[in-house]
Each structure stands twice: as C-alpha cells, then as structure tokens.
Chains A and B, each alone.
Chain A
Amino acid sequence: MSVCPPYAPFFGFGGVASAMIFSTVGAAYGTSKSGIGIAGLGTFKPELIMKSLIPVVMSGIIAVYGLVVSVLIAGGLRPLDYSLYAGFIHLGAGLACGFTGLAAGYAIGYVGDSCVRAYVFESKVFVTMVLILIFGEVLGLYGLIVALIMNSRASEAARCP
C-alpha cells in the first residue's frame, strides 16, 4: 500500500465535481419549486413579483457556495505529489458542501413556494418568509464551513516518496 497511489486524484476530482453537482441540484430544485409559486402570484398581483423573487436569488447563492468550494478544492489538486489522504479529504469536503446544498435548496424550494402563495393574501408573511429562507440558506453555509475546515487539513499531508 503506497501513500500516493496514482488513482488518488480520482477522489480529489470527485470532490470538486460533487460539490458543484449536488449544490446545483439543490439550487435548481429551489428555483423551480419557488418559481411555480411565483408564477401563481404573478397572475394575481404582478407588482409583488420582485419581492417574491427572493427565494430564487437565495437558491442562486446555494449554487455559489458549491462554486466557491469547487474552486477552492480544485486549487489544491496536483498531478504528482498528491496523497490518498488529501484525495479523501477533498472528496469529503466536496460531498459535505454538495449534500448540505441539496438540503438547503430543498428547504428553500418548499418554503419559497408556500410563502409566496400566502404573500398574495397577507403581506406580513414577507418578513416570515425571509427569516425562514435565511435559516434554510444557513444549512448550506454550515456545509461550506465544514468543507473549508476539511480542506485546510489537506495541506498537512505527507510528501510523496
């Protein structure tokens, strides 16, 4: 068993890909689900559309979290002198950010859809909606923080013989 096998970058690139892929799936789900509610709101009160687009913007931020983690991990990949330890760390970081982004996007989608439909009838729902959406987005932020912490440990990997 060698410390730096040639298949180690597979896991590193898997981390980069999974961070982007899963957070984008979450963001797409959030955008589309809340977009259904916004389309419903738009037929009754078109002047409220800009305020009701906030779930869509927040879903975009979830995708930005995945993008930042992907860029961060990809900056630490190397063709040679790359240990399996670093590969697993990068994979774990990418998966942490990706799946929490998926969860956050899911939450933003459901909350955005329901609250935007309720906003047609009651305007005080707006502040509630923003608060719940912030709590949902913070889930993705936690995944990003854990990914950052994990990625910082990859630089202490041993040099390859």
Chain B
Amino acid sequence: MIRFSPTETITNTFRTNELDPINHRKDHDGRFYSISQSVKKQLFSGGGLPKEYKELSETLNGLSIMVRKPAIELITYLNKTNFDAPVNRYVLYGKTGSGKSVSLAHILHYGSNAGMVLVHVPWVPNWVRFPKGCTPSVIHPNKYDHPIESVEWLRHFSTQNGPLMQKLELKTTETYAWSKREMTAVGSPLSELIDLGMNRAKHATDCVSALLCELKKAALSKRCRVLVVIDGFNSFFSPKSRVRREDKSIVLPTEFVLTDAFLSLTRNDWNNGAIVVSVDASAHPSELRESPLPRYQLGKQGFEHLDPFIPIEVPNYSEKEFHSQIDYYVERNWLQQPKARTERGRAELSFTSGNHPLSLMKLVAPY
C-alpha cells in the first residue's frame, strides 16, 4: 500500500490498527500505529518529534510510531491513576537515541485523546543553549525573560489545545496587571491571556507563568485534567547556558523565569494531572554525559525537586521490535539493498547497530 489507510485490514505482523493510544496494551508491543496528518499537525507543528525522525516520516509517506514497552507501561499507569492523589512524576531515561522523544510523542497523543490539557515543552535545551534573545525580567529581579521563545510556546500551546480550551472555557482567578493601563481582570477567559502573550512579546514570559499557575489551580478545582510533558528536563539544571550578562558572566538556567514557571508546575503539590519528563545526556554539555541515569543527569538540585518519581527506562530494541522495524523499512521501500533484507543482512544490521534505534536509522538511511 502506498499511503497506509487506517481502515485497511492489517495483513502484516508489524502494524496494528488500534489507532487510539488509550487502548494500547502489551500485545501491541513492537507494532506500528499510524498518526493522521491532522493529528500530527495539531500536536507536533511546534516541535516534539526529533528532526531526522520527522523528515523520515515525511519521506515514507506517513507518520507511524512503534508501540514500545516504556509507552505501554506509562499508558497503563495513566489509565489507572487516582487523580485525587497528588500528581505522579514519571522520568524516562536511556541512552541518547534510544527512543525517549518518540515515547513522549506517543504519550502526548494519548493525553490529547484522553481529553487532558497538554503542557508540552518539545526540547528544553533550545531555551538554554540557543536562546533567541534573553532580556532581564522587569517583574522578577535578577531573572531573565525569553520573549521570542515564550511567544512560540504560547502558539504551540494554543495549537495543541485549541479545541479543548474552547470546550473547557477556563477563566482566570486573579487580576494580572501588565502595565499602568493594561490588565487582565479576574474571570476573563484564559484564551485572552494567551492572545495577550502572543501579541505582546514583552509580557509573553509572564503570560506563560500566569497560564501555568492558572492551569494548576484549574486542575486542583477539578475543572480540567493536565498532562505535563517535558523533553530534556535535566537542561533546567544545566551548569551552563549561552546567555550572558553585560559583565560576560553566564546566566544559569535556574535564573530564567520560564524555569521557575515549569519547576512550579512539576512540583507534586497539586492533583488531577500527570507529569512525564525525560532526561537525556545530550541535553547537558559534554562534561556531564558520562551516565544516562536520572540521578546523575538531574544533579542534586534536580533530583531533590523531582524526588519521589517513577523512573522508566527506554532500552534498545528487543529482537521482536528490531525485526518489526526492519519489516517497516522494507515495506515502505526505505531499506533497498536486496542483500540487506535477508536473514544475514538483518543479523549484520542488528550487530552493527547494537539494536540501538538511532544507529539503526543512520545505518539504513543510505541503502
């Protein structure tokens, strides 16, 4: 088939026609399920899929994500969560390129289908390592704003949660005074807050903080359920950033207003939600990449902030998943070499890639 149609009967063993992540269970392990173009545009247009993965999905004429054990584990937990208890925090960890971001994308789709408000940060190091212009904050002394990134993030938030926010009609619980004449009164819709942030870059960062605060309160008063998904969370505790003061001293990520906002949201002092976070060695500078484990990557500060959390490892492919991935590449005409499609070819690919997802993708790419 050329473009995989979800209603077609499945004859191959590496696909599943269970398109709703809420229903993904252990028997779906190692199978691909496809995500429609509209859902992809809604959820991932502001980021969330790794760049090469996204390009590959466009080449192969459709986004299909493999259902793997970490995501299935998370989905089981999220389905069984007692939302009256304080929020649970889940930390995905694993080697770089083992599939954490894609698992988070899967969970994002789950949250969207489950009617949860999505608070999604696609890749935190973008704010720390490549900020497009940090300005000192007016409201918070000694802190720094991200005007451009905040506007982008608000746009991303409104794209992801557009229809849901219209349905929920959440209102602000506080007055926000932006300047002498501008203010957002109590009881005004949250969409007004978001629009203000998108139009006024100067106040965008503070809008983000306000929005996150409001969502937390809304979740506490059972007006909505919030799913927080953050990729590269350990970057908030990075020892370096590319932002410098006038005296050339480095501004640490803990001195960003955005960091405070998201750290406040990832504290377990609220309920009716869930927090799924990933830690990756590539989110830290090269001196801090020795171990992929959460305690090392988060550091003392990060660990104390997130403790207690549920760590979920994202391992390399199992044998079943590996063969499923090769089947997918063969079926989509990506793995072209006839010799590589044989058993010997698969054995070679398994050995040279070490069943590591990113390495496999890179090995198969030219052939």
Mutual binders A and B: no
Mark B residues whose CB is within 8 Å of A: none
Mark A residues whose CB is within 8 Å of B: none
